[in-house]
Amino acid sequence: MEKLFGTDGIRGIANRHPLTPEMAGRIGKAVGTFFHANGRAAIIGKDTRLSGDMLEAAMAAGIASTGMPVHCCGILPTPGISYLTLSGKMACGIVISASHNPFQDNGIKIFGPDGYKLSDDQERRIEALVFREGASGSKRAAEKIGSIGFRPGAVQQYTQFLQECAPAGLKLDGLRIAIDCSNGATYRIAPQLFASLGAEVIPLGIQPNGENINADCGSEHTENLAETVTQAKAHMGIAFDGDGDRMVVVDERGGELSGDQVLSVAARYLQEIGRLANDTIVATVMSNIGLKKSLGQQGISVLDCRVGDRYVMEQMRRSGAVLGGENSGHMIFHHLHRTGDGMIAAIQFLAAYRHYRLVTSKLADFMTIFPQVLINVPVREKPDIDSIRSLRTGISKMEARLGKDGRVLVRYSGTQPMCRVMVEGPDARTTEDCCRQLADIVKTTIGE
């Protein structure tokens, strides 16, 4: 059976398998069948991609064919759909988005009625329904067609929720902040949110046209944001990705803070105000060695997990941690929300900024970043890493060379045809050399 789901939902090029209207309809039908509940509706949101309307319509039709009503919210950040799914007691929530990917791509993310992303087992069961001939749900569902309608007030409800997530008494008066919305799903909400908290907002990336989402802007491209921050003498810049579930910070000098640095600041802040449960956070295997070392000196433990924010959340639920994240900028504050939310992460970072009364560039000074090099190699196939003998041998040699002063991680992207080669080491030259040697092996063996 074909595997549809990757690290974060179903991804691909819009209008090509599996992101065609036909497949979206089948996926919608499977989702409606899987989550069918009497009287409960599905809710759908999307980012600003040109293909969003097409896939939204197909998904909605597929779900409605099982007898389940569908509420379409229009453009709304991914975490907004998670919130509305739970608060509105929906059967499930769907987001049409490819997150930080270019506009040609799109994707389908699914939330269960509890507002959490699906487990691996739930995804496998939905895949089985997609490819099962004649899957149509219960007899009642087959005899009744669900309605499809627009849900008014979704943006306002989510915005109110975000405002309630701000720490009591937080005021941003006197702060000048540049906000880059990536021409994506946060383009209306984010500038209004931070202005409502008192900040002077310089908005960027707020003119989506269906094709410019993530194009030289947002969390993946902070050059323009950095230039704006320095020219406007702003206190910091904050960039979101296309669907608003990740966030990147640029300091007052135009330097970009890593996701690990932002996570470290948030961890210390929550610990100091007594909100860091068990003095523990969760991070993925891609996080810098310096995160664990620096937080360890503060008495904070860091638990590792697989790459992907849903795996971060699963580890957080098992351990009781209230904070987790990825170096890419995904941050989860579980005491506030059930998925990664870039705007909640930004609010918490700003609260820490007010708490410490330091300039942005000094907030994460306590964390030493080990040299890290990441090379993404386009691949034509994804065989088991251990099955590639030359690569396995190369990894062993590099690990021996680095010893306790570094590490190697080679993995496939869950959303793109790429192999990610990551090396951390004691110095930049050694790290770069080790990473390039391994990347060359990948190119030679399975590269495009």
Reading the block at residue 105, the tokens are: 């791509």
Give the separation between CA 12 and CA 10, rounded to whole angstroms.
7
**246 forms bridges with which residues in the sheet?**
330
Give the separation between CA 232 and CA 252, rounded to whole angstroms.
10
**Other C-beta atoms within 10 Å of 149: how many?**
12
Of the listed 82, 99, 258, 264, which one is catalytic?
99
Judge whether 287 counts as a catalytic residue.
Answer: no
Amino acid residing at 436: R
Element (H, E) at 282: strand 280-284
- The number of angstroms, rounded, from the C-alpha of 323 to the middle of its chain's C-alpha atoms is 15
**105 forms bridges with which residues in the sheet?**
13
Length of the chain in terms of residues written: 448
DSSP letters, 111-156, are: E-TTSPBPPHHHHHHHHHHHTSTT----HHHHH-PPPEEE-TTHHH
Give the separation between CA 401 and CA 422, rounded to whole angstroms.
15
- The number of angstroms, rounded, from the C-alpha of 333 to the middle of its chain's C-alpha atoms is 13
Give the separation between CA 400 and CA 101, rounded to whole angstroms.
35
Reading the block at residue 194, the tokens are: 């931070």
- Phi-psi region at 134: left, alpha or beta (left = phi > 0; alpha = psi -120 to 50): left
**Other C-beta atoms within 10 Å of 390: how many?**
11
Give the separation between CA 341 and CA 159, rounded to whole angstroms.
12
| Half-sphere CA count of 296, side-chain side, radius 13 A | 8
How much is the CA Rg of the chain, to the nearest whole Å?
A: 22
Active-site residue set: 99
